[in-house]
Structure 1
Amino acid sequence: MHRRKQAVISLTAAILSGALVYGVYMLQLRQIELQETAEVVAPRQFIATGTKLEESQLMKISLPRSVVTDEMVTTMSEAVGMEASMPLGGQEPLLRWKVDKYRLLPRAGQSTFQIPREYIKSISNGIRAGDEVLVYLSDEETASRRLFSEAISVAGVKTAANLEIDNPKSSNLLAMANDNKDGMYASRRDANGTIDAINLNLTDDQWLALDAACKSGTAKLVIAFQASSIREEERR
C-alpha cells in the first residue's frame, strides 16, 4: 500500500514537473515571437491627399511581427508612385487602402458617369479632377437635402470646348502631386474656363438614386467643392 502511494506521488510530481516545463517553454516561445520584428513602410512626415509618393518621403519602421497585418505595405517599390487617397500620418504604417495608383479612375463597384447638364443647378467653379465633392438636391416640391452622405470623387471637369478645366501655366494635379497649396489655389483661381460638364465616380445605386431624383425636372443638383485635404493640412 505504501509503495503504491509513493508511486502515485512520484507520477503526480512527474506530471506536474512536465507541465511546468512545458508552460515555461510556451511562455519563452511567446516572448520570442513578441520580440521578433518586421519592417513596414511609413511616411517620414504628414502627406496630404493627392500627393504622389516618392522614395524620399518614405521610410522603413520596425514593428512587432505579431501586429503586422496584410494591409501594411512592406516594400518601397510597392509604395513609390502611388497617390495618397487621404491624409497620411508621419511615421504611421502605410496601409494599402489609403493609397491608389489611379485616383481618377472609378474604384471597384463604381463607374464614371457624366452628369447631364439639365440635372445641374450649380457647380462650384473651384472643382477640379481628383477632388471630393458634396452633392445636394434642390427640390421645388420638397425640402432641399444632401443627396449622398459621403463625399463623391470627381473624375473630370470639362469646358464647353471639351477641355479639362485647369490652369495651363500651373496644373492643379501637378500642384497636388507636389503638395503645393499655393499652386493648387492659383490653379483654381486662374482656371481656363467655366465648368460645362462634370464626371463623377458613382456606384450603380448612387447613379440610380441621382437619376430618379432629377429626371422629372423638379429637382436639380448643387455640387459643392470640399477642400478637406487642404483644411486637414492647415490644421496640422
Structure 2
Amino acid sequence: MNRKRNVTIALTAATLSALLVYGIYMLQLRQIRFQETVAVVVPKRFIPAGEQVTADMVESLSIAKASYRPDMIVDAGEVIGMESVVPLGQREPLLAWKFDRYRLMPGKTESTFQIPKEYVLSVASGVRAGDKVFLYTTGKEAESRRLFAEAVTVASVRTSANVEIDDPDNPHLFAMAEGDLENMYAARRSANGAIDAVNLNLTEAQWLALDALCRAGERRLVIAFSSESLAIGNREEQP
C-alpha cells in the first residue's frame, strides 16, 4: 500500500513539475514577444486639429510589437504636409485615419477669402481646388516679387456662372485623394470654363498684407500653380 502511495505521489510531483516548467516557458515566451518592438511615428508635442504636420513635429518611438496596429504610421513621410483631423496627444502613436491629405476647408488660423477680380492680373489656367499656389505681386512702378514664402491652398476655382471648374465625369479631387497623378492630369485637361473667381485659404496676416499691397491698384497678383500640390502623390510612388 505504501509503495502504491509513493508511486502516486511521485507521479503527481512529476506532473506538477512538468506543468510548472511549461508555465515558466510560456511566461518567458510571452515576455520575449512583448520585448520585440516596432518603431512608430508619434508627435513630439500636442497637435490641435487642423494643424499641418511638419518634420520637426514628429519622431519615432519604439513600442511592443504586441501593441502594434496595422493602421499605425511607421514612416513620417506619410504624414508630413498633411493636416490633423482630430487633436493628437504627445507621444501618441499616429493613426492613418486621423489625417486628411487635402483640406479645402481653412485651417485653425485661416479663413477662406475670395480674391477681388481687380487684384488679380493672371491665374494659371490649370489651377484647381485643393492645389497649392504661389502668389506674386507685380506692377508698372513696382518690382515683381513673391508675396509669401510658403504656398497657400486654393479653396475653390469658379467660372462666371459660379460653377466649380472640374471634369464632372472624373473629378480631379478623387484622383488627387488617391495620389493618382495620371487621372488627376486627365481630369484637368478635360475640365472646361474660364477662371472668374479664386478663393484662397489665408491667415488674417496674409490677407491684410495682400489687401494692403493691391487695394490701391498699383500692384496686382499673379497666381501660379505649385508643384507642392503633387508632393504627396510623388512620395507615394517612390519605392
Deviation at 1:100, TM superposition (A): 2.5
TM-score by length of 2: 0.60
SS in 1 for 2:134: strand
Alignment CA distance shift 1:95-1:141 (3 Å): farther
Alignment CA distance shift 1:231-1:39 (3 Å): closer
Alignment CA distance shift 1:187-1:63 (3 Å): same
SS in 2 for 1:175: helix
Alignment of 1:27-176 (within 5 A): 35=35, 37=37, 40=40, 64-65=62-63, 76=71, 86=81, 99-100=99-100, 103-176=103-176
Deviation at 1:118, TM superposition (A): 0.4
Deviation at 1:102, TM superposition (A): 6.7
Q: Percent same amino acid at aligned positions?
A: 51
Please give the alpha-carbon distance, in whole angstroms, between the structure 1 residues aligned to 2:216 and 2:41: 51
Deviation at 1:128, TM superposition (A): 0.8
TM-score by length of 1: 0.61
Alignment CA distance shift 1:145-1:130 (3 Å): same
Alignment of 1:198-213 (within 5 A): 198-213=198-213
- 1:191 corresponds in structure 2 to 191
Please, what is the CA RMSD of the aligned residues?
3.7
- 1:47 corresponds in structure 2 to none
* Equivalent residues of 2:41, 2:61 under 8 A apart: no
**One-letter amino acid matched to 2:168:** P
SS in 1 for 2:129: coil
Q: Which runs of 4+ in 1 moved over 6 A?
A: none
- 1:180 corresponds in structure 2 to 180
* Equivalent residues of 1:41, 1:74 under 8 A apart: no
- The runs of 5 or more residues in structure 2 that have no matched partner are 1-31, 43-59, 83-92
* Equivalent residues of 1:167, 1:191 under 8 A apart: yes
Deviation at 1:228, TM superposition (A): 2.7
* Equivalent residues of 1:39, 1:74 under 8 A apart: no
- Residues 1:214 and 2:227 are matched in the alignment: no
Please give the alpha-carbon distance, in whole angstroms, between the structure 2 residues aligned to 1:74 and 1:153: 32
